[in-house]
């Protein structure tokens, strides 16, 4: 049974922000940029962002990583597991790292260190949502879609026990 949700960000608000992010990111990108998306939660955001960047004349080489810290709960375990690593050669290349939520900072910090260890010449980060009140690791994203309060969010690719990814908007999971 699907728990109830409460809308937080509309599809129109998200699309407007994706376009604004693409406008801000475009001048900072080099021609041979690799866009690495952290799966699975960021796949919808990354697809929209990649199309927005392409519409601005910036093609991206797409790659993916799967890092896990949540399992089936609503709180991070704090321990990161690499389930899928990127396949692109990153030595000397610029990377745009895309994630759904910057929460405790543990996952983004882990991914950044992993990418820089692979020889990336420049690393930029972009997140759809930022929850600064939950930060445990001092890391910030260069590009942020929305700052949100400490609520469990779903939709637009983000799930709760693999539910709600298909929503075109972001919602909060209602308290039980």
The residues annotated with a catalytic role in the active site are 103
Q: Does some domain include residue 6?
A: no
What pLDDT is recorded for position 170?
Answer: 98
Range with the poorest average pLDDT among 5-9, 37-41, 77-81, 168-172? 77-81
pTM confidence score: 0.92
To the nearest whole percent, how much of the chain has pLDDT over 90? Answer: 85
What pLDDT is recorded for position 42?
Answer: 97
Q: Where would I find the beta strands (DSSP E) of 40-104?
A: 61-68, 81-84, 94-102
What pLDDT is recorded for position 52?
Answer: 98
Determine the structural domain holding residue 59 and report its residue range: 11-70+90-171
**How many domains does the chain divide into?**
1
CATH code assigned at 129: 3.40.50.2020
Q: Does some domain include residue 143?
A: yes
Question: Taking 80 as the threshold, does the pLDDT of residue 158 lie above it?
Answer: yes
Question: Taking 60 as the threshold, does the pLDDT of residue 76 lie above it?
Answer: no
Does 114 or 72 have the greater pLDDT score?
A: 114
What pLDDT is recorded for position 36?
Answer: 98
Q: Does some domain include residue 5?
A: no
Closest to 125 measured CA to CA, from 111, 114, 138, 146? 111
């Amino acid at each position: 049974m699907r728990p109830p949700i409460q809308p937080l960000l509309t599809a129109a608000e998200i699309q407007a922000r994706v376009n604004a992010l693409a406008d801000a990111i475009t001048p900072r990108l080099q021609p041979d940029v690799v866009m690495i998306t952290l799966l699975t939660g960021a796949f919808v955001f990354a697809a929209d962002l990649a199309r927005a960047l392409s519409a601005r004349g910036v093609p991206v080489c797409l790659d993916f990583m799967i890092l896990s810290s949540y399992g089936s709960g609503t709180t991070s375990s704090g321990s990161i597991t690499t389930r899928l690593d990127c396949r692109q050669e990153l030595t000397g290349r610029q990377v745009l790292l895309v994630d759904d939520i910057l929460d405790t900072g543990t996952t983004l910090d882990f991914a950044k260190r992993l990418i820089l260890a692979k020889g990336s010449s420049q690393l930029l980060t972009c997140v759809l949502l930022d929850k600064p009140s939950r930060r445990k690791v001092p890391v910030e994203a260069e590009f942020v879609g929305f700052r949100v309060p400490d609520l469990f969010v779903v939709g637009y690719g983000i799930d709760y026990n693999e539910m709600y990814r298909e929503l075109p908007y972001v919602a909060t999971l209602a308290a039980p």
